[in-house]
Amino acid sequence: MTTSPLFYQAGPAMPEVSHGQGVFLWDTRGKEYLDGCSGAISCNLGHGRQDIRDAMTAQLDRVAFTYRTQFENAPAMALGNALVEMTEGALKKVFFVSSGSEAVESALKLARQYFTTRGEPQRRHFVSLRPSYHGSTLGALGVTGYQPLEAPFADITSGSLKVPGPDFYRRPEADRETHVRRVLDETRERIETAGGDTVIAIVVEPVGGASTGARLVDRAYLKGLRALCDEFGCLLIFDEVLCGVGRTGRWFAYQHWGVVPDLLTTAKGLGAGYYPVGALLCREDIVETVMAGGGFQHGHTYAGNPLACATGLAAVEAIRREGLLDNVNARGRQLQRGLEALKARHDWIGDVRGLGLLWGMELVMDPVGKTPFPADANLFARVTALAKEEGLLIYPRRTLDGRAGDHFLVSPPFTIDEDETVLLLERLGRALDRLDREVASLRDA
Work out how close the CB of 252 gets to ligand PMP at its nearest, in angstroms, rounded to a whole number.
13
Which residues from 135-194 bind ligand PMP, rule CB under 6 A?
135-136
Compute the distance between CA of residue 169 and CA of residue 212 in angstroms, rounded to an integer: 11
Q: Is 100 a binder of ligand PMP (CB under 6 A)?
A: yes
* 266 within 8 A of 255, measured Cβ to Cβ: no
**Would you call 83 exposed, middle or buried from its count of C-beta atoms within 10 A (0-12, 13-18, 19+)?**
buried
Piece of the chain touching ligand PMP by CB under 6 A; list 54-62, 133-141, 320-328, 389-397: 133-141
Q: Is 424 a binder of ligand PMP (CB under 6 A)?
A: no
Whether omega before 131 lies within 30 degrees of 0, making that bond cis, reads yes
Work out how close the CB of 347 gets to ligand PMP at its nearest, in angstroms, rounded to a whole number.
30
Q: Is 209 a binder of ligand PMP (CB under 6 A)?
A: yes
Helix (H) or strand (E) holding 47: none
Q: Is 248 a binder of ligand PMP (CB under 6 A)?
A: no
Work out how close the CB of 2 gets to ligand PMP at its nearest, in angstroms, rounded to a whole number.
28
Work out how close the CB of 185 gets to ligand PMP at its nearest, in angstroms, rounded to a whole number.
25
- Report, in angstroms and rounded to the nearest whole number, the Rg of the chain calculated over CA atoms: 22
Q: Alpha-carbon dihedral of residues 290, 91, 160, 96, nearest 10 degrees?
A: -70
Piece of the chain touching ligand PMP by CB under 6 A; list 234-242, 344-352, 358-366, 424-432: 234-242
Task: Kindly give, in sequence order, each residue whose CB lies less than 8 Å from that of residue 445, ignoring residues fewer than 6 positions away.
Answer: none
Task: Kindly give, in sequence order, each residue whose CB lies less than 8 Å from that of residue 236, ignoring residues fewer than 6 positions away.
Answer: 201, 202, 204, 225, 226, 229, 261, 262, 263
Task: Please say which residue, 205 or 406, places its beta carbon nearer to ligand PMP.
Answer: 205
Compute the distance between CA of residue 32 and CA of residue 164 in angstroms, rounded to an integer: 41
Piece of the chain touching ligand PMP by CB under 6 A; list 98-106, 168-176, 294-302, 361-369: 98-106
Work out how close the CB of 104 gets to ligand PMP at its nearest, in angstroms, rounded to a whole number.
5
> In sequence order, what DSSP letters do the residues of 311-338 get, joined into one string?
HHHHHHHHHHHTTHHHHHHHHHHHHHHH
Compute the distance between CA of residue 364 and CA of residue 372 in angstroms, rounded to an integer: 5
- Contacting residue, 44, 59, 73, 99, with ligand PMP by CB under 6 A: 99
- Contacting residue, 45, 55, 104, 245, with ligand PMP by CB under 6 A: 104
Q: Is 355 a binder of ligand PMP (CB under 6 A)?
A: no
DSSP letter at 16 equals P
* 144 within 8 A of 128, measured Cβ to Cβ: yes
Q: Is 101 a binder of ligand PMP (CB under 6 A)?
A: yes
Work out how close the CB of 317 gets to ligand PMP at its nearest, in angstroms, rounded to a whole number.
22
The site for ligand PMP, by CB under 6 A, has a size of: 15
Q: Is 205 a binder of ligand PMP (CB under 6 A)?
A: yes
Task: Please say which residue, 199 or 253, places its beta carbon nearer to ligand PMP.
Answer: 253
Task: Please say which residue, 101 or 421, places its beta carbon nearer to ligand PMP.
Answer: 101
Task: Please say which residue, 273 or 372, places its beta carbon nearer to ligand PMP.
Answer: 273
Task: Please say which residue, 133 or 251, places its beta carbon nearer to ligand PMP.
Answer: 133
Q: Around Cβ 417, how many Cβ atoms within 10 Å?
A: 14
Which residues from 30-69 bind ligand PMP, rule CB under 6 A?
none
Work out how close the CB of 60 gets to ligand PMP at its nearest, in angstroms, rounded to a whole number.
23
> In sequence order, what DSSP letters do the residues of 268-291 get, joined into one string?
GGGGTTTS--EEEEE-HHHHHHHH
Task: Please say which residue, 206 or 249, places its beta carbon nearer to ligand PMP.
Answer: 206
Pairing mode of beta strands 278-282, 392-393: unpaired
Query: Taking the CA of residue 101 as centre, how many other CA atoms within 13 Å lie in the half-sphere pointing to its CB?
Result: 9
The pattern of x and - marking residues 258 through 297 that bind ligand PMP according to CB under 6 A reads ---------x------------------------------
Applying CB under 6 A, the residues found at the interface with ligand PMP are 99-101, 104, 133-136, 205, 209-210, 239, 241-242, 267
